[in-house]
A and B are shown apart, each in its own frame.
Chain A
Amino acid sequence: MGAGTALKNKESWKAYCLLIPTLIIFAIFMFWPFLYTIYLSFFDWNMITPTKEFVGLKNYIDVLSDRNTYKILGNTFIYIAFLLVINCIIPYLFAFVLDSILKRFNGFYKSAIFLPAFISLVVGSILFTWILNPVSGPVAIILGWFGIEMPIWSKLDGWVILVLSLITSWKVFGYNFIVLYASINGISREIIEAARLDNVPLWKIFFHIVLPMSSATGIYVFIITIVQGLQYVFTPIKVITQGGPNYASSNAIYHAYHEAFVLYRTGHSAALSIITMLIFLILLILEFKFVERGIYYEN
């Protein structure tokens, strides 16, 4: 027992006291459920019967051998692709433009773009269902002037995913934009001015200077868009299409819910959730690897 350790122990004790509320809540509603879901993935259970039947890896095999699973996983990646393009690439560009080209109305633009983030996605789903109604909605009418007929997106593979992604993006875009803008704005003015003095064109400044220097935030936005974006999409899916038609709009997140609370196959749901979780984990590890491999940190 070294000198002064008594002091340190006292402080540890106080720290744990402060952390107890958070730790208890997390233990009960986050860590225990995580373990229990893993446990459930090895059982066959419909949430009602008092006993569960142990089935080993059967759930995993069922899930991985179901043709629908692959359609759903495919959808998941398509969702991710749409979400990334709309909510990662475009906001990055917009943030750069706002920082380097548009000097006025900064506050207004930021404020207006961020606004939809504060609106419920249920509201968003309802609003867009009507606005994008292929027959009588305002968009359909305007397109009609140009002789374009709107596809019945809620019934079409591919289109349904695009529209649901757009609806989700309506809400997500603003947050990503704000965060990326803050990061780009935080890059020292002098570095960019030095480049301008050297006549470096804007697009080069973006790729060679701004992108690397904001990359830590960029990666965060990338990961968050995938992880949270997929979860946000759940709401429009449930509200508008319930995963249909024929799983065309379902993704891994929605389907796990579907298995558990509609089909009452908790084992399947758990297995699918764990598989999804592993995919996310790989993403997380990739993120840390990237960040540690010396992508340029801001400050």
Chain B
Amino acid sequence: MKIKRSVAIPWHMIFVITIIILLYPIVFALGSSFKTLEDAYNNVLNIIPLNPTFENYITFFNSLPAFKIMMNTFIIASVATIFKLITSFLAAYAFVFLQFKGKNILYFMLISTIFIPFTVTMIPNYLIISDIGLVNSVWGVILPQLANALGIFLMRQSMKTIPISLIEAAKLDHIGHARIMKDIVLPLVRPAVTSTGIWFFITTWNEYVWPVLILKSKENYTLPLALQMYISSEGGTNFTVAMAVSVITMIIPLTLYLIFQKYIIGTFTSSGIK
């Protein structure tokens, strides 16, 4: 149906303005990260630095164990993602292709954990990690995250699109479930696995709530924790360095998003929420 241009154009403008508002902070951070402090204070509205400099980045690397912090973030994100994908895939397979007692109740129970606020579990989880002596360590952060309800949900949605007759045909050939998973199901849900993996990686990379409880010393920090050191509500003197660290924290997630966005958006839009 044709829409009058007089109606469409204002809305286009509204969308563009919205997007400018949403994306301005990123551009602001990028520009400011290359400014000297003086430049940043004097030319607030100017995104482009007068005399671009790397000094903020250098300060970051000099004042903190920056590489280690970046490594911590990367390790936690990767390991947690791999485990979440594996446990979610196996669980979803069981829910979709196998029959067993209590299947529906169990699924419901697992999925409804999405609605449990973290404050309900944070104290005991902290105590557990503390008792095993994993406080202030990478594994202390990873351990509670080895399984994930959203992952099970997304994989299940994707697996349900596979016609059950494919699995039945394989069963008739006396093909075991391990083979079926590897040769038949996995290739067919690869897009969902990829995008769920990317989503997990990015969310774990960006995570703040749990790491801030567990990680205590600077060399064990992740990037978001390191970043928080530069903030105070009045505004501190390390403003431009904070921008540099922000940029570093944003780069990998944004790059992954830009590369894989079609997959990711596809998975979230086709999962048919209910």
Residues of A within 8 A of B (CB): 8, 11-12, 14-16, 18-19, 21-22, 25-26, 28-30, 32-34, 36-37, 40, 47, 94, 97-98, 100-103, 105, 109-116, 118-131, 133, 136-138, 141-142, 154, 170, 173-175, 178-179, 181-183, 185-186, 192-193, 196, 216-217, 220, 223, 227, 230-231, 234-235, 238-241, 252-253, 256-257, 260-261, 266, 269-270, 272-274, 276-277, 280-281, 284, 291, 297
The interface size of chain B toward A, counting residues with CB under 8 Å, comes to 91
Residue from the list B32, B128, B143, B269 in contact with A182, Cβ < 8 A: B269
B128 touches A14 (CB 8 A): no
A115 touches B110 (CB 8 A): no
A21 touches B11 (CB 8 A): no
B230 touches A126 (CB 8 A): yes
Query: Can you name 27 A-B residue pairings with CB atoms under 8 Å?
Result: A12-B101, A15-B103, A19-B91, A21-B86, A21-B91, A22-B152, A25-B87, A28-B144, A112-B22, A120-B227, A120-B250, A122-B206, A122-B228, A123-B224, A127-B28, A128-B25, A130-B235, A133-B235, A136-B41, A170-B25, A179-B273, A182-B268, A216-B274, A231-B209, A238-B212, A276-B117, A276-B119
Interface centre among B112, B120, B121, B230 (most CB of A within 10 A): B120
Q: Which of B12-20, B54-62, B64-72, B187-195 contacts A (4 or more CB under 8 A)?
A: B12-20
Closest to A123 in B: B246
Residue from the list A34, A119, A280 in contact with B26, Cβ < 8 A: A119
A270 touches B123 (CB 8 A): yes
The complex places the Cα of A34 from the Cα of B29 at a distance, in Å, of: 40
A12 touches B99 (CB 8 A): yes
Given contacts A12-B100, A28-B128, A131-B25, 18 further A-B contacts (CB under 8 A): A19-B91, A19-B106, A33-B121, A97-B11, A98-B15, A118-B257, A121-B206, A124-B25, A126-B231, A129-B233, A130-B235, A131-B24, A131-B28, A142-B45, A178-B265, A178-B269, A253-B117, A276-B120
B116 at interface by CB-CB < 8 Å: yes
| Chain B residues whose CB sits within 8 angstroms of the CB of A220 once the complex forms | 273-274
B159 at interface by CB-CB < 8 Å: no
| Chain A residues whose CB sits within 8 angstroms of the CB of B175 once the complex forms | none
Residue from the list B1, B100, B120, B124 in contact with A193, Cβ < 8 A: B1
B115 touches A100 (CB 8 A): no
Residue from the list A25, A115, A127 in contact with B147, Cβ < 8 A: A25
The complex places the Cα of A21 from the Cα of B152 at a distance, in Å, of: 12
Q: How many A-B residue pairs have CB under 8 A?
A: 276
The complex places the Cα of A196 from the Cα of B4 at a distance, in Å, of: 13
B268 touches A179 (CB 8 A): yes
Supposing A25-B147, A130-B239, A136-B235 touch, asked if A30 and B121 sit within 8 A by C-beta, the answer is yes
B91 touches A22 (CB 8 A): yes
| Chain A residues whose CB sits within 8 angstroms of the CB of B118 once the complex forms | 231, 253
A-B complex: 4 closest residue pairs judged by Cβ atoms: A182-B269, A120-B206, A33-B124, A33-B121
B22 touches A170 (CB 8 A): yes
A32 touches B101 (CB 8 A): no
A11 touches B99 (CB 8 A): yes
The complex places the Cα of A141 from the Cα of B46 at a distance, in Å, of: 12
Within 8 A of A (CB), among B202-232: 202, 205-209, 212-213, 223-225, 227-228, 230-231
| Chain B residues whose CB sits within 8 angstroms of the CB of A122 once the complex forms | 206, 208, 224-225, 227-228, 249
| Closest-CB distance, A116 to chain B (whole angstroms) | 5
B146 at interface by CB-CB < 8 Å: yes
| Closest-CB distance, B200 to chain A (whole angstroms) | 12
Residue from the list B1, B8, B110 in contact with A22, Cβ < 8 A: B110
B3 touches A266 (CB 8 A): no
The complex places the Cα of A132 from the Cα of B59 at a distance, in Å, of: 25
| Closest-CB distance, B208 to chain A (whole angstroms) | 5
A115 touches B3 (CB 8 A): no
A14 touches B116 (CB 8 A): no
The complex places the Cα of A101 from the Cα of B7 at a distance, in Å, of: 8
